[in-house]
Amino acid sequence: MMIPPFDYKIPNTIEEACDLLWQAGGKAKVIAGGTDLVIGLRQGDHVPPLLIDITRIEELRKIEEMNESVFIGAATTHSEIVSSSLVKKYGRVLSDAASEIGSPQIRNVGTIGGNIVNASPAADTIPPLMVLNAMGKVVSKEGERQVPLSQLFRGPYKTTLKPHELLIQIIFAKLSPEVRSSFVRLARRGAMAIARMNVAIVLQTEKRKHRIEEICISVGSVTPTPQRMSEAEAFLRGKSPDEEVLQKASLKISGTMIRESGIRPTTSYKKPVIEALFVRAMRKALEEST
């Protein structure tokens, strides 16, 4: 299908981008990597009269640390996240996930902000950001606000951003060196496929490694909006992660999935798979802490 004609503007500053969005009155689309948007344009899902390309805005391409936090510009590509020593050191679960996204070509152009704003339930970077308790910094002509990432999602492919708002930054607190993490995914056909399900875990065990002190779990593709698996987290805190405990926790994960999404034709397939994927992610995180 032919892409319909549109205006194309390339602002150099965040302020300029906000002005353009405001003037467009909700009729513009923001483009960075364009890996999802271009497909939408081709299929006729989006027919915006104006595209605003934010890739020239320097501030949106930076990964920085300040005090106890890491700041990632929304137009930072997955490849830049993978090669960032800051992300590897303080939020490795995110760089692990970014390294498994699509092909090298997609990682080179796809951006973390695009991944969030597209709001696909299968997005690989979102569960890691959920377990990192990430915040999103959103700006517009009306000012700026910081929101917990979970509050940016309204449903599959829907966000709570207003049409004139721009996500400019993702912020998370640095993980300490003794914290362990893991990311595992199940895709349909090898690395190029969109993940069907994925699990991100951040975990802290007692010094002797017998009990779980703190744990954060998030699972992609199983609930309408991204969320933490708080029931399983509460169950695991203070326990030794032996096989029986992990199996019981895995049932809490699938229980949350069924409660949030209802019984669907895919449930009989997804339930055992997500349980096994969670146990694999836990084992991987625990192995890393040896």
Using DSSP bridges, classify how beta strands 69-73 and 158-159 pair: parallel, antiparallel or unpaired.
Answer: unpaired
Nearest CA among 68, 84, 53, 99 for reference residue 171: 68
Q: According to the model, what pLDDT value does residue 2 have? A: 62
pLDDT exceeds cutoff 80 at 271: yes
How confident is the prediction for the chain on average, in pLDDT? Answer: 91
| CA–CA distance, 186 with 180 (Å, rounded to integer) | 21
Q: Out of 30-34, 128-132, 214-218, 240-244, pick the least confident.
A: 30-34
| CA–CA distance, 101 with 126 (Å, rounded to integer) | 12
| CA–CA distance, 93 with 230 (Å, rounded to integer) | 19
| CA–CA distance, 53 with 226 (Å, rounded to integer) | 27
Q: What is the mean pLDDT of residues 123-152?
A: 96
pLDDT exceeds cutoff 60 at 195: no
Q: Out of 78-82, 197-201, 220-224, pick the least confident.
A: 220-224
If one compares 121 and 69, the residue with the highest pLDDT of the two is: 69
Q: What is the mean pLDDT of residues 200-207?
A: 93
Q: In the chain, what percentage of residues exceed pLDDT 90?
A: 72
Q: According to the model, what pLDDT value does residue 74 have? A: 96
DSSP secondary-structure letter at 239? S
Q: What is the mean pLDDT of residues 97-110?
A: 90
pTM tops 0.85, yes or no: yes
Paired strand residues for 28: 50
pLDDT exceeds cutoff 70 at 191: no
Q: According to the model, what pLDDT value does residue 289 have? A: 53
Structure confidence by residue, pLDDT tens digits, 150-185:
999 999 999 999 999 999 999 999 999 999 999 999
pLDDT exceeds cutoff 60 at 190: no
Q: According to the model, what pLDDT value does residue 192 have? A: 47
- Give the neighbor-by-neighbor strand order of the sheet with 28-31: 7-9, 50-53, 28-31
- Collapse the DSSP code of 86 into the 3-class scheme (helix H, G, I; strand E, B; otherwise coil) and give the result: helix
Q: According to the model, what pLDDT value does residue 290 have? A: 47
pLDDT exceeds cutoff 50 at 114: yes
If one compares 94 and 51, the residue with the highest pLDDT of the two is: 94
| CA–CA distance, 4 with 260 (Å, rounded to integer) | 38
Q: Which domains does the chain have, with CATH numbers?
A: 7-53 (3.30.43.10), 59-173 (3.30.465.10), 180-288 (3.30.390.50)
| CA–CA distance, 14 with 59 (Å, rounded to integer) | 8
Strands (E), the chain: 7-9, 28-31, 50-53, 63-66, 69-73, 135-140, 143-148, 153-155, 158-159, 166-173, 180-187, 195-205, 212-220
Q: Out of 44-48, 86-90, 217-221, 236-240, pick the least confident.
A: 44-48
Tell me the CA distances in angstroms from 236 to 213, 249, 290, one per residue in order: 9, 7, 19
Nearest CA among 35, 193, 191 for reference residue 109: 35
Q: According to the model, what pLDDT value does residue 193 have? A: 47
Burial class (CB in 10 A: 0-12, 13-18, 19+), 125: buried
Tell me the CA distances in angstroms from 124 to 118, 129, 240, 271, 289, one per residue in order: 12, 9, 29, 19, 23
